[in-house]
Amino acid sequence: MSKRLHPLYIAIAFIEHIKNNILPFVFVFIVNRHLLFTYWWATLLAGGVVALFAFFTWKEFRYEVTETEVRLYKGIFKKEKRFIQRNRIQSIQLDQPFVFRILRLARLRIDTASSGTDAEIDLSGISLKEAHHLKDTLKLSGSQPEIREKSPERTMKVSVKQLALAAAFSGNFGYIFAALGFLYQYIDTYINRWVKTAYEEVIHQSMFGLFLLVAVIVVLAYLLSIVLYVIRFG
């Protein structure tokens, strides 16, 4: 019998879609925040569309575990069916990102020899109890040797330089744009009048000034994302 992810996955998918598409809104908010306030209904409409998309993503995602295979059904516009033989399973990873821990959910990733860098099956948003149950069920798969939970471990320390290098290529600095936008709104009233006047003059009369401002914001966000990445994983 096939199952769906936990209903709270809808909220997770909604947050994920917002995070991945927030940069245009942040840019408009920084450059011309009055535009968002004037057309607030368009922002609500976009949020409603994202919420509907998250709901149908959850509704169309189903998984099933039989005695011989794991079956996955997903897709809104393009339907996808995936069948993985249990004796091909090589590793099972269970983790809980920050939001998942708050909602008491988990993410279960199932890898095979042909899965490459991406997991063959990614159950992102199942209950913690169900995740442990699936892990215990799948770790003995046919003739495949038992996936030992306690295997010899090798501890390694990642240097700050390596973390910074990883952060530089992560491309995950969308939140920094949002933070810069809100920070600008907070300190805007405290900026000296002549600075504010010069700023607006550059924005409204010089395209080069606009491009320069965007470039500075991007570089600043990029550097801050590297620092936060190093702090998070250091």
pLDDT value, residue 52:
93
The reported pLDDT for the residue numbered 148 is 46
pLDDT confidence of residue 56: 93
The token pair at 138 is: 């799948």
- Give dist(CA 60, CA 76) in Å, integer: 6
pLDDT in tens, 121-174: 889 889 999 999 888 888 755 444 444 455 566 777 778 888 788 777 765 555
List Cβ neighbours of 189 (8 Å cut-off, separation of 6 or more). Answer: none
Residues of the chain with pLDDT under 50: 142-148, 191
Length of the chain: 234
**What pLDDT, in 10s, does the model give residues 149-159?**
555 667 777 78
Domain boundaries, the chain: 3-138, 160-233
What pLDDT score was predicted for residue 207?
63
Q: Which residues of 42-71 are buried (b: 16+ CB within 10 A; e: fewer)?
A: eeeeeeeebbeebeebbeebbbebeeebbe
Q: Which residues pair with 103 in a beta bridge?
A: none
